[in-house]
Each structure stands twice: as C-alpha cells, then as structure tokens.
Structure 1
Amino acid sequence: MFLDTPLYPCDALEPGLGCAVSIKLETANPVRSFKARGTEVIASLLAGGGSRAVVCASAGNLGQALAWSGRGRGLDVTVVASRFAPAAKLGRIRALGATLELVDGDFDMARERAADLARYEGIRLVEDSLDIETCEGAATIGLELVDSKPSFDAVLIALGGGALATGVGHVVKALAPEVEVICVQPLGAPAMTRSFRERRVVTTDSTDTIADGVAGRRPIPAVLDDLLLVADDAVLVQEASIMAGMRMLLDHAGLVVEPSAALGIAAILEDRDRFAGRHVVTIVCGGNVDLAAYHRWVGVAPGHGS
C-alpha cells in the first residue's frame, strides 16, 4: 500500500524549469506522505512484541502515519505536536484514533515532551530520523528510484530531521553513486543545512517558514553523521520559491502539495543553470495542507483551480 508509489516524468514542468523532471509521488497513499513506510515497520515489530504503547513527536505527518499503522494493529499511539501545527494534520491524527497532546511551542519542544512521556510511562519512543526503522522506510524509496528507467542525474530531497535524505541517500550512493543527492531546506529553517556545511551540529533559536514539516531547530548528531556520508550538497531556498514551486505543481502536475513537497522544485527555480539539460527526480513527500493557507500561498481563490 505504501510501496511502489508512482514515478513518472512530468513533461509539462520542463519548459518552466529547463530540465527534465520526474516526480516520485509519495502522497498516493492513505496518509498522503512517505512516513508510513517507516511506521509500518515499527508497528509490525511492536504488534509482535511486548509493549503495545508507543509515543512520538510529530510536525504532523509522522503522527498520522504512526496512528494509521497502529490502529490496524491495536496499538496505543500517543502523538505530541505543537498546537501551531496545521489543523488539517492535527485533525487527521485525532480521526485515526491516536491520543494527541499539544505543546505551546514548536516541534523541538514536542520532541522533549515525547521523550519525557516515554521515560515516565516506560513506553516505546519513536524518534523520527534517529530510529533506524524510519530511515529504512525512506530507503525503500531509494530502491524504487534506482530500479527505475530511464536513469536520472540527480535526486532532490526535502531535508528536515534527515530520515528521508539519509534513507534515500544511502541506497542511491550504494547502487547508483553517479547520481547527485541534493538536500533542500527552507532559508527560514536552516539548521541541518548549516550543520551539513560546517560538518558539526548547528542549532537555531527559531524557525520562520511555511514548510512546517522540515522546521527543526536542533539536528540529531548521529543523523548529521549519516547525512555527511551520503549527501552531495544541501541548499537553502526562499519562501517565495517554495510557493512558486507549489503553484507549478498545481498548474502543471495537478498536485496539491504541502510546502515541504515543493522544496525540490524551488531548488531548480533558484538555480536553473545547475540543472539545465539534466534529468532530475524530485520526491513529492507530503500532501497534508490546510486549504485556506494553501490558497493564500499559491494565489488561488477557494473553489477555483484546485
């Protein structure tokens, strides 16, 4: 259900971007993001073991995925999230039967609270990007990419906590080392990219981006170590480019995506010369977005064009 998502060339994007773009569509599943590739592994292991209770911190998509995977296996799932997370994501977590606890801060504060809950209650903590299962889930995307025809020159990957980038990156570098692995992060949430460039953990005091799914302030050292092994580059993009990328995916691919999923297109828009004449894959990693905000960002009146 979550494997073998569509991968297809989107010819309509080529004139505006100056390169051939193939889309890996990770929104074509019940939770509309790639996260369930990892939570399916986690939930299967928990269902066959002792404790049936699990907690995670989430910007929204991991929580939905864990709730979905846990519901089908009778697990007790608690998700800790920021009360400022998109209402659509929070509502879906509740609808999937998870206990939702909200904190009055950002994702990194939710991470602290989830760790406290796991410690106090003696239950399994799922930490996105650090737990190997979350990276293994993302790695299956890499396997599907390298098996594809025709081959491609570069893969553009949204960079947040790092599970997607390290999971896909490890596979691509092992099986198709000539492919350039390029991570993309918003200028308003640059901690992991700065860390990659300086080869040490760099934290930020705050974030300021519409791409809530990648808006972390404190990179995990072990994840950075992994990223340094597999990524060729990490770039930062402006908010205007993210919104333009979302609009291009709507206009030319018929896709309503969340901001994180448009980071790859934004990277091409900001550096057309780098990608000119190449075949690039961009991973459309999530489609959970509040429609009112979406309409503001892409400049589409509600009820028209989407």
Structure 2
Amino acid sequence: MQQTRLDTARIRAARTVIDPVFLDTPLYRCEALEPVLGCTVSIKLETANPVRSFKGRGTELVASGLAAAGERAAVCASAGNLGQALAWSARGRGLDVTVVASRFATAAKLDRIRALGARLELVDGDHELARERAAAIARRDGIRLVEDSLDVETCEGAATIGLELAARAGSFDTVLIALGGGAMATGIGHVLKELAPGVEVVCVQPLGAPALTRSFHQRRVVTTESADTIADGVAGRYPIPAVLDDLLLVADDAVLVQERSIITALRLLLDHAGLVAEPSAALGLAAVLEAPERFAGRHVVTIICGSNVDMPAYRRWVTPAPTS
C-alpha cells in the first residue's frame, strides 16, 4: 500500500494513551435488521461512552499531546461532536478549550459542550464559517487550532476502530463508514488496507453534502456552494487536500444517499436494533437500502458513530407520517 499520513505503529501506541472508556466498543451481529436489508449486518457501536461519539478517540491523542508539550489552551470548530470530545479530553488535563460552532447546530450538542466546561462561541453561518473564526482565534491568542481530519491525531485516534475491526477480519467482507471530514474513513481505511486488505471499505455521504465524495471520484478537490442535509456531522463543503490524498489510497468506493434513505435507516436502527442514532450514524444502512443488490449475500459492518440528536427533530424523523 502507498503511504498515507498515518502510521500503524503510532495507531497501536495510541491505544495506551486513549482513555479505555472509548476503546473496544461492541461489535455484534444484528440479525433483526437482516430480513429488511437482505444481507448479514454487524454493528460497531461507537456511542456508549461519555461523549456518545467516536471523536473521543482522536481528542484523547490531541489533548494528551498538548498537555505533554506544556500547552494550556486550544480552539476548534465543530458541528458538535468534536467540541464535546475535545472538552471532555481537555477537562482532565488542565486545558482551556474554546469551541466555535454555528448557532444553527444541534442544540443538545451545544448544551453538552457548555456543560463540559468549554467556552462556546457561535457564528451566524455554517461549519465552514466556524472554521474560519476558530483559525482567527488561534492566530490572535497564539494557541493550538485543532482541525478535525487535517490533524493526524484525529485520524489515528479513529484508526483504533480499525484495529478492533481487523481483529475480527474474516467474519465480514465490507465496512460502511460515514464520510464527512474524512478522519474516520481514512483512519479505519488505513488499518484495514494494511491488516485486512480483503475487506471492502465503502464511504457514505449525503447527497445534500457531496463534496468529499465528488472529490474522491474526480480525484481532485471539489467544493460546493452549500450543504443541505439532516446529517449535520458530515455537512462540510471544502475537502482538505491531504485528507483526499489519503482517502484515495484506502477507500474502495464512496457513495451518496438521499435524505429519505437516511430517515428510513434511523427508523430501522430504532425499531430493529433499539438504537438512537444521529443521521450521520445511519448513513451505512442508508447505502444498503439504496443498493440492496450490491450488498445481497454479503456481511457488512456499519459504524454507529454518534448518537447526539436534537430530540424534537429526531422524533419527527422516526415517527411515520399518518396514513389517510
């Protein structure tokens, strides 16, 4: 395999730094989903931890490195989950964290960021505007700007999921990974291509936020003017060139799914697996729903990557419309 920015030895070492509360998450077959989807389905559950998403794996590495270097503050832009995770990881290491987010972000995520002790600044725009503001704060205050997916720690933290999957390789043939900034896809993909090359790595993004998927297929950075999806955690518009370079080396395919498929997948996870998932976490099942013939007879693993939802919106999504 050509070299990505990631290093497998560092990824293995990361397991000694990351708080065990984020490691060795459940991986289990969910037979109740299989009659609906027409394939064997296993779930990798990344939500049973204090921040209810996989992001804590990466922020543990970031915060540990900052503390070891004697740093005392950091800033990040976040749709919600990274900010929560960085606040959690920083709190126990004496670090001050500022999180910049869109004021239109999921309210529950913003509330949790505040509760974890981070300073929260809201901008009147989308995640890309939040990234610009976070960079400005970092320059002004001379502090570390934590950039999800660009900072290799965020990718290598997520890659520890790949180590856990690789230990079970042979029992499944496909992994479906939500694609946003790319940390999870490049991290897991890197490990699987090295340790379990027979496993197909398929990335999934909403049709309403297609920038990195289009970039993957055109093999160049493609930006979009807007993003329109309920999957707020993956709604980026400006792919990072270095991340795309890695993704091209480790992903076998990237697909786009429609909003109605994401909503159906949310309902399936609740009704058949008893799981509350945020829309980004339902992308893998949405991909199966849209291409059942592609996955028929296969054993797929889908990563349930987050469960921080706005409950009023979630109830609307999972409650079927009344029939006349």
The correspondence of residues 294-305 of structure 1 with structure 2, limited to 5 A, is 294-299=314-319
Task: State the shift of 1:151 in Å.
Answer: 2.1
Match of 1:4 among 17, 24, 27: 24
Residue 50 of structure 1: how far off its partner (Å): 2.1
Q: Give 1:124's aligned residue.
A: 144
The SS at the match of 2:22 is: coil
Match 1:70 to one of 71, 87, 90: 90
The answer for the alignment partner of 1:14 in structure 2 is 34
Give the Cα–Cα distance (whole angstroms) in 2 for the partners of residues 235 and 87 of structure 1: 29
Cα distance 1:132–1:30, how it changes in 2: closer, same or farther (>3 A)? same
Q: 1:304 — aligned with what?
A: none
Conserved 8 A contact 2:169-2:196: no
1:54-104 superposed Cα distances (whole Å, 9 cap, x missing partner): 000001000000000011111100000000000000000000000000010
* Correspondence list, 1:228-239, <5 A: 228-239=248-259
* Corresponding residue number in structure 2 for 1:103: 123
The CA RMSD over aligned residues, in Å, is 1.0
Question: Is residue 61 from structure 1 mapped to residue 54 from structure 2 by the alignment?
Answer: no
Structure 2 counterpart of 1:274, from 294, 297, 310:
294
Asked if the contact 2:281–2:305 (Cα under 8 Å) also holds between the matched residues in 1, the reply is yes
1:244 is matched with which residue? Answer: 264
Deviation at 1:46, TM superposition (A): 1.2
Partners of 1:112 and 1:95 in 2: CA distance: 24
What one-letter code is carried by the residue in structure 1 that aligns with 2:238?
R
- Take 1:246 and 1:74, find their aligned partners in 2: how far apart are those partners? 37
Runs (5+) with no aligned partner, structure 1: 302-306
Query: Partners of 1:300 and 1:99 in 2: how far apart?
Result: 38
- Tell me the residue number matched to 1:144: 164
The residue identity in structure 2 corresponding to 1:213 is: G
Equivalent-residue separation in structure 2 for 1:53 and 1:151 (angstroms): 43
CA deviations on 1:223-244 (whole Å, 9 max, x unpaired) are: 0011000000000000000000
Q: Distance in 2 between matches of 1:94 and 1:87?
A: 11
Letter aligned with residue 213 of structure 2: T
Q: So what's the TM-score if we normalise by structure 2?
A: 0.92
Change (3 A) 1:162 1:149: closer
Identity of aligned residues (%): 79
> Counterparts of 1:213 and 1:97 in 2: how far apart (Å)?
21
Counterpart Cα distance in 2 of 1:227 and 1:38: 18
Match of 1:292 in 2: 312
1:30 aligns with 2:50: yes
Q: Does 1:167 align with 2:187?
A: yes
179, 197, 208: which one pairs with 1:188? 208
CA distance in 2: counterparts of 1:82 and 1:135, whole angstroms: 23
Answer yes or no: is the 8 Å Cα contact 2:173–2:300 preserved in 1: yes
Q: CA deviation at 1:150?
A: 5.1
| 2:9 aligned partner | none
Distance 1:209 1:41 in 2: 30
Q: Is the 8 A contact 2:159 2:191 kept in 1?
A: yes
TM-score normalised by structure 1 residue count: 0.97
Give the distance between the partners of 1:111 and 1:300, measured in 2 at CA: 36
From 96, 119, 135, the counterpart of 2:155: 135
Moved over 4 A (4+): none
CA offsets per residue over residues 8-41 of structure 1, 9 Å max, x none?
A: 0000000000000000000010000000000011
Can you give the 5+ residue segments of structure 2 that lack an aligned partner in the other structure?
A: 1-20
